[in-house]
Amino acid sequence: MTVTITVNGTQHTHSVEPRLLLIHYLREHLSLTGSHIGCETSLCGACTVELNGKAVKSCSIFAVQCNGAQVTTIEGLATGDRLHRVQEAFWNEHGAQCGFCTPGMVMVSKQILDRNPDPTEAEIRHGLEGNLCRCTGYQHIVKAVQAAARVRA
């Protein structure tokens, strides 16, 4: 099947197998390897991207389901050399340890702030529930989201 997907503002058209997952499309057809493959069962969230403005786990959706859609990956958040405020906050607040979950955590954190620009700690923790980190204990990640909220786009 042929799909046309706009990824990070650029339209791409490829012939793909109907069973190809979006995460594999991004990594294999577009060489966008920032989104990670963790579990392929939608449990860990390392593959989180934005699909038409909503955070989704790209291992749980087929590329053909995204035909005509807008996708933003971790690579698409920065503007030139300027990091997105959530990326910068993760850097400044040490929100990454090994870094494997970081792309997904950044994408879901952006979604949290898009929905609520001034979330409580409890709301942040609730919003992060679908993404797993095996290193940090989440405290620095929560602090990063709080710091990004203070910055306001």
This prediction's pTM: 0.94
Phi, psi of 121 (to 5 degrees): -60, -40
Provide the pLDDT for residue 90: 96
- The CATH class given to the 85-151 domain equals mainly alpha
CA distance 96 to 91: 7
Going by C-alpha positions, the residue among 33, 52, 39, 41 that lies closest to residue 103 is: 33
Quick check: 152 pLDDT over 80?
Answer: no
pLDDT attached to residue 41: 86
Local structure of 19: helix, strand or coil: coil
- Computed over every residue of the chain, the mean pLDDT equals 95
pLDDT tens for residues 17-28? 999 999 999 999
What is the average per-residue pLDDT within 138-147? Answer: 96
Domains in the chain: boundaries: 2-75, 85-151
3-state DSSP helix/strand/coil % of the chain, to nearest 5: 40, 20, 45
Percent of the residues in the chain that have a pLDDT greater than 70, as a whole number: 99
Q: Does the domain spanning 2-75 belong to CATH 3.30.950.10?
A: no
Q: Residue 70: what are its φ and ψ, rounded to 5°?
A: -105, 125
pLDDT for 58-94, tens place per residue?
Answer: 999 999 999 999 999 999 999 999 999 999 999 999 9
